[in-house]
Structure 1
Amino acid sequence: MKQIKEALASKSSALVAFSGGVDSSTLAALAYEVLGNNALAVTINMHSLPEGELQMAENIAREIGIRHKVIDFDEFNVPEFVENSPKRCYYCKRSILELLLEAAKKEGSEVVIEGTNITEMQGNRPGMQAVAEMNERVISPFLQFSVTREEIRQMAEYMGLSVAKKPSSPCLASRIPYGKKITPEGISRVKSAEKYIFNLGFTQFRVRDHGDVARIEVKSSDFPAVIEKKEGIVNELKRLGFHYVTLDMEGFRSGSLDEVVSK
Structure 2
Amino acid sequence: MEHLIQLFEPHVNDGICLAFSGGVDSSLVLAAACQAVSRINPARPVLAVTFETRLHPQGDTEEARALAQSLGARHLTIPVDEFSDTRILSNPKNRCYLCKSLLFRSLLQAGRDAGYTWFCEGSNLDDTKVYRPGLQAVREAGVHSPLIEGGLTKNDVRRLAAEAGLKTASKPSTPCMATRLPYDTPFDYELLSRIHQGEDWLRNLGFYNVRLRFHAPILRIEIDKADFNRFMDQHEAITRAMKDLGFLYITLDLEGFRSGSMDI
Q: Does the pair score TM above 0.5?
A: yes
Look up the equivalent residue of 2:134 and give its one-letter code: G
Question: Structure 1 CA distance, aligned partners of 2:186 and 2:239?
Answer: 24
Query: Where in structure 2 are the equivalents of 1:69-88 lying within 5 Å?
Result: 69-88=76-95
Given that 2:24 and 2:168 are in contact with CA atoms closer than 8 Å, whether structure 1 keeps it comes out as yes
1:7 shift after superposition: 2.6
Query: Where in structure 2 are the equivalents of 1:115-154 lying within 5 Å?
Result: 115-135=122-142, 138-154=143-159
1:143 shift after superposition: 1.5
Deviation track 1:28-64 (CA, whole Å, cap 9, x = no partner) reads 1111112244211110011222243324323322432
Per the alignment, residue 25 of structure 2 pairs with 23
Aligned residue pair count: 257
Question: Structure 1 CA distance, aligned partners of 2:187 and 2:197?
Answer: 16
Q: In structure 2, which of residues 240, 257, 262 is the aligned counterpart of residue 257 of structure 1? A: 262
Query: Where in structure 2 are the equivalents of 1:215-254 lying within 5 Å?
Result: 215-254=220-259
Look up the equivalent residue of 2:9 and give its one-letter code: A
Is the partner of 2:119 in helix, strand or coil?
strand
1:196 maps to 2:198: no
Q: In structure 1, which of residues 165, 171, 177 is the aligned counterpart of residue 176 of structure 2? A: 171
1:41 maps to 2:48: yes
Q: Which runs of 5+ in 1 are unaligned?
A: none
Deviation track 1:108-137 (CA, whole Å, cap 9, x = no partner) reads 1121111111111112110001011123xx
Is the partner of 2:166 in helix, strand or coil?
coil
Deviation track 1:184-203 (CA, whole Å, cap 9, x = no partner) reads 11211111111111111112
- Normalization by structure 2: what TM-score? 0.92
Per the alignment, residue 104 of structure 1 pairs with 111
* Root-mean-square deviation (Å): 1.5
Question: Structure 1 CA distance, aligned partners of 2:60 and 2:137?
Answer: 23
Given that 1:49 and 1:172 are in contact with CA atoms closer than 8 Å, whether structure 2 keeps it comes out as yes
Question: Structure 2 CA distance, aligned partners of 1:108 and 1:236?
Answer: 49
Given that 1:51 and 1:191 are in contact with CA atoms closer than 8 Å, whether structure 2 keeps it comes out as no
Deviation track 1:132-181 (CA, whole Å, cap 9, x = no partner) reads 1123xx11111122222222222212211111121211111111111101
Look up the equivalent residue of 1:250 and give its one-letter code: E
Q: In structure 2, which of residues 192, 201, 210 is the aligned counterpart of residue 205 of structure 1? A: 210
Question: Structure 2 CA distance, aligned partners of 1:186 and 1:57?
Answer: 26
Per the alignment, residue 10 of structure 2 pairs with 10
Given that 1:47 and 1:187 are in contact with CA atoms closer than 8 Å, whether structure 2 keeps it comes out as no
Is the partner of 1:47 in helix, strand or coil?
coil
Question: Structure 2 CA distance, aligned partners of 1:175 and 1:223?
Answer: 20
Per the alignment, residue 180 of structure 1 pairs with 185
- Normalization by structure 1: what TM-score? 0.93
1:32 maps to 2:34: yes
Given that 1:41 and 1:69 are in contact with CA atoms closer than 8 Å, whether structure 2 keeps it comes out as yes
Percentage identity across aligned positions?
Answer: 39
- Name which of structure 1's ranges 246-255 and 36-45 shifts more when overlaid on structure 2: 36-45
Look up the equivalent residue of 1:8 and give its one-letter code: F
Deviation track 1:61-84 (CA, whole Å, cap 9, x = no partner) reads 243232211111111112222111
